[in-house]
Amino acid sequence: MESKLDEDPSVDRSLELSGEQLQQLVSLVMSHLREFIDSLAEQPAWEFEGAASIARSVMEALPDKGTEPAVVLRRLFNELLPYGVNSAGPGYLAYVPGGGVPHAAVADLISGTVNRFVGLWNGAPGLAQMEVAVLRWFSDIVGYPATAGGFFTSGGSLSIWSAIVTARRCKFQGELSRGTLYTSNQAHHSVSKAAMFAGLPPENVRSISVDSAFRVCVDAMREYISKDRRDGFVPFAIVGHAGTTNSGAVDDLARLADLAAEEHLWLHIDGAYGGFFMLTERGRGLMRGIERADSITLDPHKALFMPYGTGCLLARDQSHLRQAHQLRGEYLMPGPDEEFFDLSDISPELTRSARALRVWLPIMLHGIEPFRSNLNEKLDLTELVAQRLRQLDAELDDRLEVVSDPQLTVVAFRLVREGFTDEQNDDLNARFRNAINASRRVLLTPTRLHGRYVIRICILSFRTHIDRVEACLEEIYRAARAV
């Protein structure tokens, strides 16, 4: 018996844009983005005044009807986006900048429009294999063998979580309360958070002291491992650093690799910030031994200048990722042959976007050389900043102290006023930082090194060049004389 369904005229089909309608919408967006890009150098590095009121304004009721695109976009670009930290601009010298190359935004437009499923190879063979290919490029950069593999994540926090889960699966399957992990006291908080998510008690993450250059003390780590074994714990992993957030410190990765081999522990290197400096000769010298790590975190949204939400995890032996992550549902299509594989078999996610496209497209358009060139420039600029800060010290009444010599692209410094206590100097430096940032030409953020408040400059954005560095130094000199 045949039946025919009549088309329901009450269904709203406004979601089904034609190609022409999409082009019109994108053209409208581009008029705003063009103005944004062209004015970045003049935009303030930060804007917080009035931000609370703007934030409250978006807490509105769910609308039944839509609003004209021009009205919505004007509100977005003129009212909502100007507030907060301008992380796309050249004055963003806080935390660990990236910048967000616009080519990746074009890739996201393509990915979001075609909306292909990459968790299974058969869903989008070209895009799924593109991820494998891009991660092969990354593996070559860090010196990994042909057995290596990995997957893209939203960032370092999820990468380190998956790395610890893999380490636990491969090196320790006992009672979680007995497992211990070892890292520097300069580790990013995501290491402890990931260990907690992986089931370890927070106190089982051993925080090891550092030397005067903020690199982990390998001998102290060795002693702690021995003590834990005597006390009945089961050491299973080490997390080393190829560029800490606080100071840009790079641990002695070769010695950590030796220790991990001696103790039969998993070695993970947090290279979220610094790993891509392996593209440079100086970076390769600093990170000798990184190729011996069992796994490495890389964040393309840092030193490869991609948009936020672009991280990845590499493993020296991809089979370890499969061992930790593979499960199959009876509703899934059969997997491909031996040459190809499903990304969901080596990673936590099934459904996700084609993240590799946002890396593949800029590199295919420009090659890797502009990225290498920019990283070398940032290393040069950071060395210049450290040198100029020392020169400024001679011109000031207070002592301007460089607390951490640059290993990558972070310089930490502070004012020290004669006769002040440590606490008074901490308060002085908080005022000092506010005075530096007051012009909004740059944004610097603080941290603590050796227990004291210091100010960080991190030079990493592809849009930050000598002119903005000179502006930053001018603001430092002005503020130091004013406070």
Residue with tokens 């299973």: 236
Count of beta carbons in the 10 Å neighbourhood of residue 293:
30
At 328, list the tokens: 């199959």
pLDDT of residue 9: 85
Sign of CA dihedral 461, 285, 251, 198: positive
Q: Which residues pair with 206 in a beta bridge?
A: 182
Cα 390 from Cα 392, distance rounded (Å): 5
pLDDT of residue 338: 74
Cα 363 from Cα 367, distance rounded (Å): 5
Same fold for the pair 108-366 and 371-482: no
pLDDT of residue 339: 85
Q: Where are the alpha helices (DSSP H) in 12-155?
A: 19-38, 51-57, 69-75, 102-114, 125-142
Residue-range domain boundaries for the chain = 108-366, 371-482
Q: Where are the alpha helices (DSSP H) in 291-368?
A: 300-303, 318-325, 357-366
Judge contact between 246 and 214, C-beta under 8 A.
yes
pLDDT of residue 3: 62
Sequential DSSP letters for 236-248: EEEEEEBS-TTT-
Q: How far is CA 250 from CA 134, 189, 227, 377, 381, in A?
A: 25, 17, 26, 19, 18
SS3 415: strand
Judge contact between 107 and 118, C-beta under 8 A.
no
pLDDT of residue 2: 61
Query: 108-366 in CATH: which number?
Result: 3.40.640.10
SS3 351: coil
Nearest partner of 318 among 151, 115, 466, judged by Cα: 151
Q: Which residues pair with 240 in a beta bridge?
A: 269
- Tell me the CATH class for 371-482: alpha beta
pLDDT of residue 172: 93
Cα 193 from Cα 237, distance rounded (Å): 15
For the chain, which residues score pLDDT lower than 50?
A: none
Cα 374 from Cα 409, distance rounded (Å): 12
SS3 371: helix
| Long-range pairs, 25-34, Cβ under 8 A, ≥24 | 25/69, 26/109, 28/69, 28/70, 28/73, 29/73, 32/73, 32/76, 32/77
pLDDT of residue 71: 98
